[in-house]
Amino acid sequence: MRICDLLDPRAIQLNATASSKEQAINQLVDLISNTDCLSDPDRYRAAVFEREEKGSTGLGASVAIPHAKSAGVKKPGLAAMVVPQGVEFDSLDGQPAKLFFLIASPHQASDAHLDVLARLSTLLVSDEFRENLLNAKSVDEFLNLINQADSREIKKEKQQIKKEEDLAQESSKIDDTYDIVAVTACPAGLSHTYMAAEALENKAKELGIKIKVETDGAAGNRNRLLPEEIAKAKGVIVAADRIVEMDRFIGKKLIRVGVVDGIRKPQELIEKVLDPKCPVYQSGVVTSASSAFMRLYRHLMSGMTYLMPIAATAGILSALAKLDILQGTQVGFFLDRIGYSIGTLLFPILSAFIAFSIKGRTALVAGFTGGVMADLDGSGVIGATVNGFVGGAVALIITSFASKFLRGHDAIVALLLYPIVGALGTSLIALFFTNIPAQFLNEGIKSVVEEASPWLLLLIGGVLAGMMSADMGGPLNKTGYAIGVLFLADSLPEMGVGSKLMGAVMLGGMIPPLAAGLSAYLIPQVYSAKEKKHALAALGKGLAFITEGVIPFLDFSPVKMKIACILSSAVGGALSLYFGCSICAPHGGIFVIPLAENLPYYLLSLAIATLFGAFLFAYLRLNRKDLK
């Protein structure tokens, strides 16, 4: 199958115009609706937007490949669109997207069509190919360019297959040693997987390094690494956002990163893995302090992923029940009971999915038990977190024992041994070892905030909020947010210390984009035309608690602008905690702020910090020499 078998001329638009990401996606869905690929366009459209919420499909280099699998797709198809002026698409490189391919996949997708999509992703890595498509004068020319490149790629694939067959037949005579082997994988397995592979291969070729990349995509595991290839390689790169088979790399120098780093930093990854100081991978054994932290952090984030919607639901329902209009009514009583009941699941959910991240389903019961023990003994969110790791460790020990001594009894082991021994083991460790110090620490933190002097409250709120804008998705940002979410869960369904910390954290994330957007409107003379175009989007993202909305304003002077972000966030967080404001949900921004406690002071904190940030942004841009 060829790419143009999926790309109907009716689904191609050149010289299109779109003013926003949403408009571009809607136009693409309308284009593919002109064909007979969709059975339910609205259902597919919703699936595309849902996929986009999980992470932008703007791949950088002017390319975006929005996609989704949906029951609203009758058969696989593509749509293509060229927007010469570009559209802000939250791309990896921060630049506008101009060349769009929309992928429509049914739930039961054939390997043949997935091969085609993988080939398209590979072709789009070429600068020349992208430029030719952007400059195409007609739909026929656009299709011809794709056909010609597709033919070359198919020929290369056939040559590669033949080469691999020849190598397999003469493996004893040919040196099949690779300097580096790599695996790329993304959750969807459609675009990022293959683009990361192509980026690594191209950079290795440029550097004169021999590499083989296994692509673990939606079409299956392609170009699979052979044991002898792994054994002879000097190092391994795993650029993946999901679980891949890792035990085969035991004893090899290895670095593991997200798939986006494979696309953006191929040379850096290659140099790191060839560095003699690169750590050696050992299953279940951490090779360095940084990797230990990252493993613990990933397990904690797995628990938080499942915790957040539960916390938001419990907090919002309980806050609604306390509104004057509902208090004392049957509706208020109903909402309060539901919110309270959901809130009782917070610790077990957090603990269970931390354990699940460590050892899968075999650790779920142990993890749930750890959360229940934290609730029963009053060790709070710290106890639930620690017990989640304990549950995962207990499951690791049990599974190791079962694999050695109880082979052939899988049903009994799965139904009885794992849950019962896991629950008892976790309970005993929690009861005698972890719950008491966790309770002491948990209560100590609460007491510090509850009994803090005004100056200490200003300091705590300022530090937490400042962390939110210090590195935009980096370790400080994530640590600050984790503190807010975890202690919010400790407070719910009531508005306690944790909800006050979450209030400071939320303002810390909202204020930088709000300040930048407002500044561009109030003092436009110190902003470039490009920056002013981002003002409205920054305001919208700020209101929605999306800190990254400030990124387009950081290019002028990253250090100065980061300082402005941190200071303005710190002002908002400090005032919020000083006034004792509380928020009931871990996300939502303007949508949950009306439910905040001490709402007038929360809004005042937001307004003061935003205005302060707006004028600070403008002041730091005075006397700009790049404005003409």
pLDDT in tens, 45-69: 998 998 888 778 888 889 999 988 8
The length of the chain is 628
If one compares 308 and 503, the residue with the highest pLDDT of the two is: 503
Mean pLDDT, range 444-450, rounded to an integer: 89
Please determine, for residue 618, whether its predicted confidence score (pLDDT) is greater than 50: yes
pLDDT value of position 290: 43
What does each C-alpha distance from 494 to 303, 325, 336 come to in angstroms?
21, 18, 10
Determine the pLDDT at residue 473. 57
Element (H, E) at 608: helix 599-620
pLDDT-derived band at 220 (thresholds 50, 70, 90) equals low
Class of domain 175-287: alpha beta
Query: Is the model's pLDDT at 110 over the cut of 60?
Result: no
Tell me what pLDDT residue 246 has: 80
Contacts of 428 (CB under 8 A, 6+ apart): none
pLDDT digits (tens, 9 = 90+) for 119-143: 788 888 888 999 999 999 999 999 9
Residue range 286-311: average pLDDT? 71
- Catalytic position from the list 37, 67, 113, 278: 67
pLDDT at 168 over 60: no
Is this structure's pTM higher than 0.85? Answer: no
With 0-12 / 13-18 / 19 or more C-beta atoms within 10 angstroms meaning exposed / middle / buried, residue 97 is buried
pLDDT for 434: 95
Q: Which residue out of 37, 113, 186, 278 is catalytically annotated?
A: 186
Question: For this structure, is 278 an active site residue?
Answer: no
Tens of pLDDT, residues 386-426: 999 999 999 999 988 887 777 655 667 778 888 999 999 99
| 482 C-beta neighbours (distance < 10 Å), count | 16
> In the predicted model, what is the mean pLDDT of residues 433-448?
92
Which helix H or strand E contains 543, and what residues bound it?
helix 535-543
Both tokens assigned to 265: 């930093």
Q: How many Å apart are CA 483 and CA 489, to the nearest integer?
A: 10
Mean pLDDT of 159-178: 63
Is-catalytic flag, 4?
A: no
Mean pLDDT of 246-250: 84
Q: Output the pLDDT for position 465.
A: 96
Ordered by start, the domain boundaries in the chain are 3-157, 175-287, 290-439, 454-620
Mean pLDDT across the stretch 161-173?
60
Q: What angle do CA 233, 239, 240 make, to 5 degrees?
A: 125
| pLDDT, tens digit, 9 for 90 and up, residues 184-211 | 976 445 567 887 898 999 999 999 999 9
Report how far residue 315's alpha carbon sits from residue 597's, in angstroms, rounded to the nearest whole number.
12
**pLDDT of residue 328 exceeding 70:** yes
Q: From CA 605, how far away is CA 504, in angstroms rounded?
A: 10
CATH of 3-157, one of 3.40.50.10490, 1.10.274.50, 3.40.930.10, 1.10.10.10: 3.40.930.10
Residue 411: per-residue pLDDT: 60
Lowest mean pLDDT among 172-181, 259-268, 345-354, 530-539: 172-181
pLDDT score at 287? 42
Q: Are 125 and 199 in contact (CB under 8 A)?
A: yes
For residue 151, count other CB atoms closer than 10 A to its CB: 11
Enter the tokens of residue 281.
């991978």
pLDDT on residue 599: 96
Average pLDDT, the chain: 87
Answer whether 514's CB lies under 8 Å from 548's CB. Answer: no
Res. 581: pLDDT tops 70: yes
Encoded amino acid at 354, one letter: I
Say what the pLDDT of residue 262 is.
Answer: 87
Q: How do residues 14-38 score in pLDDT, each as one tens digit? A: 999 999 999 999 999 999 999 989 9
Identify which of 225-234, 242-251, 468-477 has the greatest average pLDDT: 225-234
In 194-331, the DSSP E strands lie at 211-217, 220-222, 235-240, 254-257
pLDDT grade for 282, boundaries at 50, 70 and 90: confident
The residue type at 68: A
